Amino acid sequence: MALLIPLFDAAAVRPGTGARRPGQYVDGSVLTARRRRINLSARASTAAPPIMLLYALTSADGDPAQALAAGQGLADSQGWRTSRRIVDTGTCARPANRPGWARVRDAVINGRAHGVVAISWHHITPDQQLYLDELSWFSCRRAAVHLVHPETEQ
């Protein structure tokens, strides 16, 4: 069964126009397919083994240990090196407003990492349009976004 995720900023395309309509849903499999295309492009431009950052978003009283361990497990199973574990605390939906996510972006921009590993897309942002924006940002830099749990499991 496909998971439908609400869009807060309109991501459904009106047929024939390319315009987006508010309040529409995008199937999780569409997000997974898009992310996988981005990751294939990143892999083609990255020396082996790639260097990944582990990332988790947690509440003020949360413990990121399980999320980071799951990300490390994925990285180990794929033969990726990990350079840092980055954790943000809080509920801010906009990744650009989080200091840890800013460090992720900085490492990618400056060539210190080839991508990021998170347990789910909700650790990047719970807002689907912002998640799509982040995927585009990584795509433009030929960097990867790997998830322990694909978008279809959310």
Q: What is the pLDDT of residues 20-76, one digit of tens each?
A: 445 566 889 999 999 999 999 999 988 789 999 999 999 989 999 999 999 999 999
Distance CA(150)–CA(136), nearest Å, equals 17
How many domains is the chain built from? Answer: 1
Q: Which domain holds residue 36?
A: 4-153
CATH number at residue 64: 3.40.50.1390
pTM of structure: 0.83
